[in-house]
Amino acid sequence: MPELPEVENARQVLLGALDREITAIDDNDDWVCRPHPPGEIAKALVGGKLTVAHRRGKTMWCETENRDGTEGPTLGVHLGMGGRLIVTDSAGERTGGGPERPDRQPRKAEWDRFTMNFADGGQLRLFDKRRLGRVRLEPNLDGLGPDAEDISAADFRTRIARSRTAVKARLLDQSVLAGVGNLLADETLWQAKLSPAAKADELTRTELDRLHRSLERSLRSAMEKGGVHTGTIIEHRHVDGHCPRCGAQMRHGTVGGRSTWWCSREQV
């Protein structure tokens, strides 16, 4: 699943779709647009505009404005496993989000699961080969904790330590902290030299503060370099992998129901 850095990159792409009159919407994929039947999203948004793009953790949504200037419904967009947002200008050229990755497969028209046309000739498209993304009106945000990028050290300590479950499971719980996924959790715990299986309520204040600083550092690096896959430990998460810091063998197991890798010497 995309994690906070990837979703923030998608939000930056979405900024290019703001304040442009919507003339048509293809919302006929009733799986990606569930629970809305074909045409319902179009009826709610055509003639209006997207006005503000928000993100909390891995969740992204837009405020909208109706054609008469009144407030419209919010539009939620979820990328799924491999979805991407593509925004084009009036000349049909892709805008925002950095350069295309060279390993991208050619796009097929049928993989554009949701398309929004603008009066200037440009488009917003959700490209999703695996059809695991989601577009819906009025997404429910009530279950999300604070954004991992913005949480204070004090709030982080309180939220993480409020359970006897493994610290990795706490990091992955989106109601505790929104935005951390499996790769970012492994990177952050490795940076902090903490066992992913350590009981959250047994961590000291010093350890929790170190974990918070490591999360900040890991997030900042991932956003600067293009995603969580660029983390220091990520390429070493495999059989026969070794810790790039101390050289010890990497260990593998399941923590919090997720595949987990850690340093056999420093994360015990």
Q: What would the mean pLDDT of 209-218 be, rounded to a whole number? A: 98
What is the tens place of the pLDDT at every residue in 74-118? 999 999 888 999 999 988 888 865 444 444 555 667 799 999 999
258/196 Cα distance (integer angstroms): 11
* CB proximity list for 23: less than 8 A, separation 6 or greater: 46, 47, 117, 118, 119
Residue whose entry in the numeric block shows the structure tokens 């996924």: 181
Beta strands in 128-244 (DSSP E): 134-137
Instruction: Give the pLDDT of residue 81.
Output: 84
Domain boundaries, the chain: 4-137, 153-263
Instruction: Give the pLDDT of residue 161.
Output: 97
Q: What would the mean pLDDT of 118-145 be, rounded to a whole number? A: 95
Instruction: Give the pLDDT of residue 106.
Output: 58
Whether the predicted pLDDT of 230 surpasses 90: yes
Architecture of domain 4-137: Alpha-Beta Barrel (3.20)
Instruction: Give the pLDDT of residue 8.
Output: 95
Dihedral sign from CA coordinates of 254, 255, 256, 259: negative
Alpha-carbon 18 to chain mean position: 20
Dihedral sign from CA coordinates of 243, 171, 148, 97: positive
Instruction: Give the pLDDT of residue 103.
Output: 43
Can you give 71-125 as a three-state secondary structure string?
Answer: ECCCEEEECCCCCEEEEECCCCCEECCCCCCCCCCCCCHHHEEEEEEECCCCEEE
C-alpha distances in angstroms, 35 versus 38, 40, 59, 113? Answer: 10, 10, 18, 15
- Its pTM stands at 0.89
What is the tens place of the pLDDT at every residue in 147-183? 999 999 999 999 999 999 999 999 999 999 999 999 9
Instruction: Give the pLDDT of residue 99.
Output: 44
Q: Look at the domain 153-263 and name its fold.
A: Helicase, Ruva Protein; domain 3 (1.10.8)
Two tokens at 132? 């695991």
CB neighbourhood size of 241 (10 A): 16
Q: What would the mean pLDDT of 16-45 be, rounded to a whole number? A: 97
Judge whether 82 and 101 are in contact, CB under 8 Å.
no
Two tokens at 256? 């919090």
Judge whether 212 and 263 are in contact, CB under 8 Å.
no
Stretch among 101-110, 197-206, 247-256 having the lowest mean pLDDT: 101-110
230/218 Cα distance (integer angstroms): 10
Q: What would the mean pLDDT of 5-20 be, rounded to a whole number? A: 96
